[in-house]
Amino acid sequence: MRHGDRVKKLGRKKEHRIALLRNLCRSLFILEKIRTTLPKAKEAKKMAEHLIEFAKRNDLAAHRRIYRQIQDHKLVKIICDEIGPRFSERHGGYTRIYRLGPRLGDGAEMAILELVEQSNPDTITMRRKLIERRHLVEAQTKKKAKKEKKPKEKKVKEKDTQAAAKKEKKEKKVSKKKVAKKKAKKIKQERKAKKKTKEKKGKKKRKK
């Protein structure tokens, strides 16, 4: 019996499964050919063909429906402007699956999922550089800007704070030394006063 078996769970919960299929479709639209396990390829094929149907319309509503699954504005534009018109004369069957046999490690059946009509490899590499490396370039530029701006301010502040701390330490040491000297002087004076008083008392006794 197949009660409640409409969706292949792929050994994952709903959120994890949806994220997996979205990532597979994203890499399929960027590279136009991916290698994965056969059950994953079959499920990703359904989602990819559904998105290509929307891309063939190439209107605002279609852009928004594709953006629900693939949240990248530049890739959505590429799908609607480049990939969608390529399949304008087709009515389904936008992708194909090639079986590769079992994997050596765990024996899982592998497959290649690809678009039926592919573009030139040069355009694919340019697309990959545009989309995949864009985030890296932005992150690197932000890091460089932070490194150029903040370290100078930090160094100045650190130097000022270190100098102020050194001054405070010196002042504390000087003040401690002064207090110790004053105490030593007082103790010497008290001792001298005690000696004088003892000497006076001894002289008085002798006279008597």
Chain-centre distance for alpha carbon 63:
28
Q: Give the integer Cα–Cα distance in Å for 5 and 12.
A: 14
Q: Render 88-135 in DSSP notation, one character per residue.
A: TT-SS--EEEEEEEE-TTT-PEEEEEEESS---HHHHHHHHHHHHHHH
Q: Give the integer Cα–Cα distance in Å for 94 and 56.
A: 11
**What long-range pairs does 98-106 form, CB within 8 A, spacing at least 24?**
99/38, 100/35, 103/37
Q: Which residue shows structure tokens 């989602």?
A: 47
Q: Between helices 121-207 and 14-31, what is the axis angle to 10°?
A: 120
In order of their start, the domains of the chain are: 14-119 (3.90.1030.10)
Write out the chain's pLDDT in tens, 208 residues: 778 778 888 899 999 999 999 999 999 999 999 999 999 999 999 999 999 999 999 999 999 999 999 999 999 999 999 999 999 999 989 999 999 999 998 999 999 999 999 888 888 888 888 887 766 566 677 777 777 765 555 545 566 777 777 777 777 777 777 778 888 888 888 888 888 887 777 776 666 5
Cβ–Cβ under 8 Å, residues 101 and 22: no
Q: Is the pTM of this model over 0.75?
A: no
Cβ–Cβ under 8 Å, residues 90 and 106: no
